Structures are given as C-alpha cells and as structure tokens.
Amino acid sequence: MDDAQTIPDDQWRPDRHQKSQRDEKDQSGCAICGLLNEDGSLVDGGLIIRAIANMHDRSNGLGGGFAAYGIYPQWKSWYAFHLMFDHDAARRQTESYLETVFQVAHQEAIPTAHLEVIRQRPILVRYFLLPKEELRARHYDLTDDDIVMMNVMHINKTIDGAFVFSSGRNMGCFKGVGYPEDIGRFYRLDEYQAHLWTAHGRFPTNTTGWWGGAHPFGILDWAVVHNGEVSSYGKNRSYLANFGYQCTMHTDTEVIGYLFDLLVRKHHLPIEMACQAVAPPLWSRIEQMPPAERQLLQTLRIIYGGALLNGPFSIVVSHAGGLIGLNDRIKLRPMVAARRGASLYVASEEAALRLMCPSPDLIWRPAGGVPVIGRLQSQPQEVSVA
C-alpha cells in the first residue's frame, strides 16, 4: 500500500464509502436544457452555460454538468473516457487495467480552471481508447460498444475510487459538485465547439452531492440530464439486469440511459418507439387506435412493461444522432421546446429557452409522453479542438 499518495480526506464523495449492499436511487429536483444544431454547425459552451445559469434557483449548488457532442473530431473514432479518481492509487490501478484491455491512443488531464467555489475536486483524466484486437477476438459475439460498456461497469463496480463518467465517441460529459455555471467555467467549456449541448443543474434532496452523482449520466454516446424521480426505478433496474446492465451509480438517472441504449442500440427500435416504450400511451388510448397500430403498441407495451418510466420526469437524452426531450406520461415536470431554423432547443423553463433563442420560429409545450426529437442531418463541421 502506498498510503502517502492517497489523499486522506476524500469527503467530497462521502457516500461512496457508505455504499450499502443494495443500490439506492437518488431523488432530486433540477434544471435541464439542451440545444442541437441539426445542420451540424458548431457553437461553443458559453451559450448553454448562460442558459442553465438563467435557471439558477432550480439547483442548489450540489451538482451541475454538461454533455457536448462533436468536441473531439481528431479522435472521433476513439472512445473518449472521462475518469475521476479519488486518489493516485485508484488512477494507477485503473490505468494498468485499461492497458490490458484497450489500446490507449492518447491520455491527458481534463483541462480545468482554478475556481474558488469549486472545491475538493477529484483527479480528472481523459483517455482515447479502442478495445484491443485480442479482446475483440475473444469476444467475437460482442461489438466494440458492448466491450466498452462491460469495462465501464467493471471499473465502476470493482475499482474503489475510480469512476468512468463519460465513455462515448467524439463527445464528453463534464460534471461535478457546484452550480452548473461554475462547473461550466471550471471545465473551460467555452473553449469547446459542439453541435449538441445539454446541461443540468442539480437540487438533490436526500443525498449530499458527489461528483459522480451529478448529471449528465453518460454511457457510450448516450448522455441523460434528468429532472425528476423514477418511481419505477426498482422495476427498471431489475428489468435491465436481465440484459446484463448493472446499476452501480446510486442514481435513478442511469436506468434511463441504459433503457435507451437497450431499446435503440441493442433492440434497434426507432427513437419514437423507444419513447413509446418508456412513456407509453394509456391502455384505454391504445384500444381506440386503428388495428395495426393498436397491435403494435399493445405488443410494445406488453414486451417492454419493465422499461416504462414511472414517476415525474423531464429528460433530455442526447446521442450521436441527435437529441430527445421527453416528459412523463402525465407531465409532472416542466419542459418547453423551441425551434429556429435548423436549431432545436429544450429547457425546463422558458427563461432559458428565450436566452438561447430570443426569437424562435416555433415555441411549444410538449404534452406528457410526447417526445421532442431532433436529428443531426449532416456531419458536424470539422474544426481543430481548442
């Protein structure tokens, strides 16, 4: 043991050490927002920071975070792992593990700014990886995505003090304890160019904030920002366990990410149907549909009962192909959306929406269970990274 290198005071993540045998979900209120340039044009992080800051009172300083897409064009075919470490020992253990399974093209500290208000920061490092050939050969039945996910879960579950919080290609999650606008400045997000941004300000009600628990929740290129509580969490978690997803992060938001990964990436459902699986129409409405549609929806709901997200939520789910805004079936959390030209905006409050897009072509309040779907039409512009 190399105690000298271990930071003794790691209270910035206190409940990491009180991890009970069973997983807990976390309840929180929150602010969310997202923007997508469907034409792939890039915008820096300044705008989304100002938008989330405009909903300051919806968070309480215990968590903030961002997801950005198109930020690593020179590494775009490599999985960008963002890791936080409690201490150097965890970093060394993780790195030696990564080297056994991945080719590491590049690694560096995630650039941060010194901010008075951001305290007790973990060690933040990013790696650009691909599974090793021998690993691919051994797991011939798995895709690279499957191998990456398996290893993210393995690290998060077994290496004490290490936490992978972003693992997609040409995208990244940036999060921590603090108000979101401070987290944005801390990570110097105004230096990144992305075609798709999401942001989150957290208001946890029953746990102290910890860096890993902030949103977005990211797995592969999925990132979820979430306002609400998943009352069906226990059900969703056990349902996902059927498909090999292990919930290890003490947050109900992670089931949302896994569900979309399962429905869209593994089961190849169109985005609209994935949304209908997690927020399905009422049985009484399904009954009234034309026969073909009725049968489709009935079957979808029968098969994916375990994927239904119950409880109040508004979420922005982002992925390489675009953005999804969605409310629970009876709209118990706020969400508004706007469009201008090729840009789509969603936010908890109109205040943030108007800040991002002062004169929209269209502004609306999506009904419960009715998704707002934005699709990237062309490849993002290629520019060199900051």
Partner 1 sequence: MRKWLVEPDFILTRDPDRCINCQVCVRQCANDVHVHDEEADLVQSDSEKCVGCHRCAALCPTQAISIEKASLEFRPNGNWTADRIRAVYKQAEGGGILLSGMGNDQTLPVLWDHMVLNASQVTNPSIDPLREPMELVTYLGRKPDRLELNRDANGKVSLATELAPQLRLETPIMFSAMSYGSISYNASFSLARAAQAAGTFANTGEGGLHKDFRPYAKNLIVQVASGRFGVDPDYLNVAAAVEIKIGQGAKPGIGGHLPAEKVDAQVSATRMIPERTDALSPAPHHDIYSIEDLRQLIYGIKEATQYTKPVCVKISAVHNVAAIASGAVRAGADIVAIDGFRGGTGAAPTVIRDNVGIPIELALAAVDARLRDEGIRHQASIVAAGSFRSSADVIKAIALGADAVYIGTAALVAMGCHLCQKCYTGKCNWGIATQDPMLTKRLNADVATRRLSNLLRGWSLEIKEMLGGMGINAIESLRGNREHLRGIALSDRDLNILGIKAAGE
- Site residues for partner 1 per CB under 8 A: 20, 22, 25, 27-29, 205-206, 228-229, 231-235, 238-239, 241-243, 266-270, 273, 282-284, 292, 295-296, 299-300, 302-306, 308-312, 329-330, 332
* Rounded least distance, CB 253 to partner 1, Å: 14
Closest CA to 187 of 88, 106, 82, 284: 82
Nearer to partner 1, 243 or 364 (CB): 243
* Rounded least distance, CB 170 to partner 1, Å: 25
* Rounded least distance, CB 292 to partner 1, Å: 7
Nearer to partner 1, 105 or 150 (CB): 150
Query: How far is 195 from 126, CA to CA, in rounded Å?
Result: 21
* Rounded least distance, CB 244 to partner 1, Å: 8
Q: Dump the DSSP string for 141-178.
A: TS-HHHHHHHHHHHHHHHSTTEEEEE--BSEEEEEESS
Q: At what angle do helices 271-278 and 253-260 cross, to 10 degrees?
A: 140
Nearer to partner 1, 101 or 142 (CB): 142
Query: How far is 82 from 201, CA to CA, in rounded Å?
Result: 20
Query: Residue 292: what residue type?
Result: A
* Rounded least distance, CB 213 to partner 1, Å: 15
110 secondary structure, DSSP code: P
Task: Give 4's contacts (C-beta < 8 A, 6+ positions apart).
Answer: none
* Rounded least distance, CB 286 to partner 1, Å: 10
Long-range contacts of 272-276 (CB under 8 A, 24+ apart): 272/371, 272/373, 273/300, 275/324, 275/326, 275/369, 275/371, 275/373, 276/300, 276/369
Q: Given the residues 30, 33, 173, 275, select the one marked as catalytic.
A: 30
Q: CA 321 → CA 37, 196, 270, 277, 379, distances in Å?
A: 11, 10, 12, 19, 10
Nearer to partner 1, 182 or 254 (CB): 254
Q: Is residue 173 among the annotated active site residues?
A: no
Evaluate whether 172 touches 66 at the Cβ level (below 8 Å): no
Query: How far is 63 from 74, CA to CA, in rounded Å?
Result: 30
Task: Give 151's contacts (C-beta < 8 A, 6+ positions apart).
Answer: 101, 102
Would you please indicate which residues are annotated as catalytic (active-site) residues? 30
